[in-house]
Structure 1
């Protein structure tokens, strides 16, 4: 039996301390995990920075114009602040791993904004570290 490959193969799961980017913005906020406070990727100590991001986590830190100035809002003096408004849940999520029934976000996932921007993963937030075992 051969397994079909997935676009998520070799991609990291996204954690709270990762960074998002909008193709119309100029700042890179961190994820705000509100869907759970239970599942951590690669952190046995339960550090909140390593909470797994799910398809329902649609908020960012800092709140407000999270993605800075929007290229979709030009003025004679520059650009107006982002008016982030998600168009539903994260898309292209990984359905083979869930957190409390919710699909997880990987480096391949994206989120559409009703204003016109597309939000993707700039940094998944995980880091390889040497342990005593290594």
Structure 2
């Protein structure tokens, strides 16, 4: 896989012939979450995420492949296929292969591989375990005003 990120719900995509990015929606499965410690928002995207409702706004703005006398027709995204997905992961839920950050989608108007992923959708979330496992000297350099060796009691608010 060579350091390529898996793609998840909320990944930002753009068509070569559009002007506005749109966010990917995962509608083909409801169980497999990645990069989401609560397991509630970042569903893993697969090559089975195709069709007309695959994006939040379902448009990349004006489509340069559809000129009109006054400009361009608005894009209406229809993903017919994905390429460049990861062959070694197959979900049982939809028989889909995991999308990678360099996967590309085909639209019948823009042609093969005209839609690219510009942000995979994953975000870094620091957990207590990350801090616990981190090198204390490095943490002391990065955040010198915090005593990283001191145990902190968890704050529990009291309702009055």
Work out whether the TM-score is over 0.5: yes
Q: How does 1:55-134 map to 2 (within 5 A)?
A: 55-58=47-50, 59-63=54-58, 66-87=59-80, 89-100=81-92, 101-117=95-111, 118-133=114-129, 134=131
- Counterpart-to-counterpart distance in 1, 2:115 and 2:37: 29
For residues 49-95 of structure 1, the C-alpha deviation after alignment (integer angstroms, 9 at most, x for no partner) is x10001011211113xx1111111223322210133333x2111101
More helix by share: 2
Structure 1: which 5+ runs fail to align? 1-7
TM-score (norm 1): 0.83
Q: Which of 10, 13, 17 matches 2:10?
A: 17
Tell me how far 1:44 sits from its aligned partner.
Answer: 2.7
Note the C-alpha offset of 1:9.
1.7
Structure with bigger RCO (C-alpha 8 Å, 6+ apart): 1
Instruction: Say which structure is richer in strand.
Output: 1
